[in-house]
């Protein structure tokens, strides 16, 4: 009786393409994936297999989510919807040297925080249980410059998963912030979406079917990234539980 049939979406995959909102509000332009699919120099690299299709072709979920929730609940008869929070929407710029959730909270974008509260409340009002993925591939540019790391993964400054000493504590603090901020509306949390897809398409075998930033072929780096994501999952799991007493957390 309590089984939840659901569907899955992710912010970067569905948010762009708003019919009336200005593109700069609709699109999250501060992520490595935005850079990855819009940068002309990256698009011109044939080995990355980037289409160059404009984000305006997206379904506009950032604006049309209430319609989408109604379709999910009433036409598909779903009881849950898995979605994601975009780290780079909440923290478009680096928070600097912070070590607690309280310190991090002072750097959150208030408009993005309010927008996500409205979003989750609308989902619940439609009769859908939110399952929220904290990291569905995208990373803020300040923690991962996919273009620079594609050019030289050893010298790029914002190295993402190649720099576990930076990203693991940072993503754990972010997870803790989200759990504390949105825990009243969200009980089901996922830490990372499909870690192996990040490893495979970003660091081992980028190809015609798919490339992820930084789109390099580096087996030793792929192993390092895999272990970084394992550590990140564990740290995020602990951070969510520490900040949301009713949370259920998985991968």
Residue 74 contacts residue 182 (beta carbons within 8 Å)? no
Q: Per residue in 214-248, pLDDT tens?
A: 999 999 999 999 999 999 999 999 999 999 999 99
pTM beyond 0.95: the answer is yes
Q: What are the residues whose beta carbons fall under 8 Å from the beta carbon of 224, sequence distance 6 or more?
A: 161, 162, 164
1: pLDDT strictly greater than 90 = no
Q: Per residue in 169-190, pLDDT tens?
A: 999 999 999 999 999 999 999 9
Q: Give the CA distances from residue 214 to residues 60, 113, 165, 196, in Å, rounded to whole numbers and listed in that order.
A: 26, 28, 18, 14
pLDDT at 20: 98
Task: Give the integer Cα–Cα distance in Å for 91 and 107.
Answer: 7
Provide the 10 A C-beta neighbour count for residue 124: 13
Q: Per residue in 66-81, pLDDT tens?
A: 999 999 999 999 999 9
pLDDT at 25: 96
142: pLDDT strictly greater than 90 = yes
Which pair of tokens denotes residue 192? 């990372």
- Map tokens 């939840």 to a residue: 4
Q: What is the mean pLDDT of the chain?
A: 97
Task: Give the integer Cα–Cα distance in Å for 138 and 11.
Answer: 9
Average pLDDT, integer, range 27-42: 98
Name the strands in the sheet holding 248-250, side by side, starting at the edge strand that comes first in the sequence: 6-8, 80-84, 129-135, 188-192, 248-250
Q: How confident is the model at residue 64 (pLDDT cuts 50, 70, 90)?
A: very high
- Map tokens 């506009």 to a residue: 60
pLDDT at 15: 98
Average pLDDT, integer, range 43-70: 97
Average pLDDT, integer, range 19-24: 97
Q: Per residue in 84-133, pLDDT tens?
A: 999 999 999 999 999 999 999 999 999 999 999 999 999 999 999 999 99
Q: How confident is the model at residue 163 (pLDDT cuts 50, 70, 90)?
A: very high
pLDDT at 241: 98
């Amino acid at each position: 009786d309590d089984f939840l049939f659901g569907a899955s979406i992710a912010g970067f995959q569905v948010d762009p393409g708003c019919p009336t909102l200005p593109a700069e509000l609709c699109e999250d332009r501060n992520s490595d994936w935005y850079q990855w699919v819009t940068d002309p120099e990256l698009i011109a690299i044939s080995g990355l297999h980037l289409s160059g299709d404009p984000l305006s072709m997206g379904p506009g979920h950032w604006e049309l989510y209430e319609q989408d929730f109604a379709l999910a609940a009433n036409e598909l008869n779903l009881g849950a919807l898995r979605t994601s929070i975009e780290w780079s929407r909440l923290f478009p710029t680096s928070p600097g040297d912070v070590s607690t959730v309280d310190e991090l909270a002072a750097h959150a974008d208030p408009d993005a925080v309010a927008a996500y509260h409205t979003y989750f409340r609308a989902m619940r009002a439609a009769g859908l249980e939110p399952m929220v993925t904290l990291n569905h591939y995208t990373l803020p540019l300040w923690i991962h410059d996919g273009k620079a790391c594609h050019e030289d993964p050893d010298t790029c400054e914002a190295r993402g998963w190649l720099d576990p000493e930076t990203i693991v504590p940072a993503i754990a603090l972010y997870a803790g912030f989200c759990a504390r901020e949105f825990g009243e509306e969200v009980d089901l949390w996922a830490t990372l979406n499909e870690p192996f897809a990040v490893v495979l398409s970003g660091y081992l075998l980028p190809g015609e079917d798919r490339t992820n930033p930084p789109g390099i072929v580096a087996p030793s780096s792929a192993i390092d990234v895999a272990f970084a994501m394992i550590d990140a999952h564990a740290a995020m799991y602990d951070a969510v539980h520490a900040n949301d007493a009713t949370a259920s957390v998985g991968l």
